[in-house]
Amino acid sequence: MKKRITSFVVVIALLLITIFLSATTGSVSMGLTEFIRALFGEANEDFVIIKDLRFPRIIIAIFAGAALSVAGALLQAVMRNPLADAGVIGISAGAGFMSMFIITFVPTLFFFTPLFAFIGGAIACFLVFSLSWKAGLEPMRLILVGIAISAVFTGLKEAFIMLCSYMSVTIDGSFTSTMTMKTWTEVEIMTVYGSIGLVLALLLVKWCNLLALDDKTVKSLGFPLMTARIVIAAVAVLLSAIATYVAGVISFVGLLVPHIARRLVGNDYKYVIPFSILAGALLILVADTLGRILIPPQEIPASTLMAIIGGPFLIFLLRRGDRKA
Amino acid sequence: MIIDQISMSYDGKRKHLDDVSTELLKGKITTIIGPNGSGKSTLLSVISRNHMPKSGEVLLNGLNIAEFKAKDFAKQLAIVYQHNTSPDGLTVEKLVAFGRVPYQSFIKRPSEEDTQVIDWALESTNLLEKRETALTDLSGGERQRVWIAMALAQKTPILCLDEPTTYLDMYYQLELLDLVKRLNEEHGLTIVMVLHDMNQAIQYSDHIILMQQGKIIAEGEPTEVITTERVREVYNVEAKIYADDEAGIVVVPMKTATMS
């Protein structure tokens, strides 16, 4: 109980500190008092630059991190598999490919791209689910099928990028998974859809908890198991699709964050989801900020940093799973 | 509950239940026994709607159970399985609270009644002191009682148990069966269970259903159903049966019948 409260306080504090540091560090920098004064309305030229250049980026990093972490936590509940992650099992790749496809061939539908990202993610999710189902979901098989699906969609997307550069069509920066040059329009898309997804996720905590029991037990309680699975998976796909659409494919966040959350606040989704929101936001914001300030003026994408941390972590989880079995 | 000409097959080839008909008596303890693969657990899973029969129907209060809404059925019949998984760190109380799911909806939050029923379920299973304990920290016997408490929280007139004693030591086996008997006597619960141990079945049941290869071979009062001939025929075991003041009869298996 005490550990839970401490964990929440610490992660909120760290998040606030990181937001401040991220906003004030870089080619234009300022101190804490100056920053807070400007935030509350004092005229400041540097602050205008920070606001237009860094705020959209910070907000997107926060929401993308939160969305991907919660998507991971939800997928882990549905698939009863601690290794499920939207990036690893191809949902992000599906969403990325589909948005690319629409922008390339039906640019008039640009406005609906988030919807198509969702459809792409849903197709990938359905494929992984149905192809790895064999009298239950065996964790290892799910991951292998997921990686294969992810590879196919990533390959298709890359083929498109080649094709597009050949046709000299400009590609939106977001598909190369960086968070530079974010506009307020993208912020709007991310925050609106992201908030909807996150609120839905918070409403679904009880269902998520029930899914931890055996299928037959859940069914014997008169609980609509299949409906719950589909609804939870749909929210997970929404969250990961929107994050992918705005911030590009970032793998392993959904793996790393819920795992840490369970360690710190327990298995109850009432705490896992809120904690994942905060810790996911923190992680991606840290990764993005580090990527920005480590070797200026070059940038390391957050997804690259996440892959470097996340890959070994997946191996660690797999090895631990082996020992348990 | 009336079971009317139920046939059922998992693979479409072997008949796991073959034209089974019987009636489960209200307020009694009925135990289904039989060797492995005789269809006893399958019968229980058809009764509890976990599997749909290929043909035939199960009637509860005159209504086919397939026609009940899932939640309404969960208010009529609860089932405890022999093996259950639960998430790490889940407390006894939280698990038992899941038993109230049939009475809650997405919007409706836990009510005063829910709390009372959960308390009653914990008290009946002697778990009040363990309510804050994590399931993983309990003994096998206590854990099985928690699952029974969850089923009790469903407040159903019928309670099914699928080999509830299989993984338990002798002490906990008897403790659990005493609990089942008490629930039957004090709360009038109709009990339907599958047991492996023939003597426990005899000792604790009002009614025994003996199954073999998907069919009911015999049913009735324990002392009528269990005979040396039937034990030989169904289990392939030579057994001696002695009269006993408390249990009625005691079966002592001697050797396999094929060896003689």
φ, ψ for residue B225, nearest 5 deg = -75, -45
E strand or H helix that includes residue B31:
strand B29-33
d(CA B46, CA B58): 8
E strand or H helix that includes residue B57:
strand B55-60
Q: Which chain B residues contact residue A219 at CB under 8 A? A: 49-50, 70
Could you tell me the residue range of the domain that residue A294 belongs to? 2-324
* pLDDT per position as a tens digit, A104-120: 788 787 778 888 999 99
Q: Distances from the Cα of B36 to the Cαs of A46, B16, B250, in angstroms?
A: 79, 11, 21
Instruction: Return the sign of the alpha-carbon dihedral for residues B42, B48, B49, B54.
Output: positive
Task: Decide if pLDDT at B260 tops 70.
Answer: no
Kindly give the interhelix angle for B140-153 and B112-124, rounded to the nearest 10 degrees.
140
Instruction: Give the residue from B191, B145, B169 showing the smallest Cα distance to B48.
Output: B191
Q: Which chain A residues contact residue B78 at CB under 8 A? A: 220
Top residue of A221, A231, A265, A268 to mutate, by most chain B CBs within 10 Å, is A221
Q: Determine contact, residues B239/B232, Cβ cutoff 8 Å.
A: yes
Q: Determine contact, residues A276/A70, Cβ cutoff 8 Å.
A: yes
E runs forming strands in B9-137: 17-23, 29-33, 55-60, 63-64, 77-80
Answer whether A214 sits within 8 Å of B84, measured CB to CB.
yes
A173 — pLDDT class (breaks 50, 70, 90): very low
Task: Decide if pLDDT at A166 tops 70.
Answer: no
Q: How many C-beta atoms surround the C-beta of residue A258 within 10 A?
A: 29
> Which residue of B48, B87, B88 is in closest CB contact with A220?
B48
Question: Does the interface predicted TM-score (ipTM) exceed 0.90?
Answer: no
Q: Is A77 helix (H, G, I), strand (E, B) or coil?
A: helix
Radius of gyration of chain A (CA): 20
d(CA A253, CA A244): 12
d(CA B127, CA B132): 10
d(CA B151, CA A290): 52
Beta partners for B32?
Answer: B194, B209
* pLDDT per position as a tens digit, B13-34: 788 888 889 999 999 999 999 9
Domains in chain A: how many in total? Answer: 1
When pLDDT is averaged across residues A292-320 and rounded to a whole number, the result is 81
E strand or H helix that includes residue B177:
helix B170-187
A249 — pLDDT class (breaks 50, 70, 90): confident
A152 — pLDDT class (breaks 50, 70, 90): very high
In A, minimum Cα distance to B80 occurs at: A217
d(CA A69, CA A272): 10
Comparing A97-106, A198-207, A248-257, B240-249, the range with the smallest average pLDDT is: A97-106
> Which residue of A213, A223, A267 is in closest CB contact with B89?
A267
Instruction: Give the residue from A275, A277, A280, A278 showing the smallest Cα distance to A261.
Output: A275
Alpha carbons within 13 A on the beta-carbon side of B68: 24
Task: Decide if pLDDT at A174 tops 50.
Answer: no
* pLDDT per position as a tens digit, B202-236: 999 999 999 999 999 999 999 999 999 999 999 99
Q: How far is B223 from chain A (nearest CA, A)?
A: 33
Contact B107/A at CB under 8 A: no
Whichever domain contains A262, its CATH number is 1.10.3470.10
Contacts of B28 (CB under 8 A, 6+ apart): B184, B190, B191, B206, B207
How confident is the prediction for chain B on average, in pLDDT? 90
Residues in A 175-214 with any Cβ partner in B closer than 8 A: 203, 209-210, 212-214
Tell me how long chain B is: 260
Q: How far is B254 from chain A (nearest CA, A)?
A: 38
- Among A12-16, A52-56, A87-91, B126-130, top mean pLDDT goes to A12-16
Comparing A8-22, A126-140, A170-184, the range with the smallest average pLDDT is: A170-184
Answer whether B90 sits within 8 Å of A212, measured CB to CB.
yes
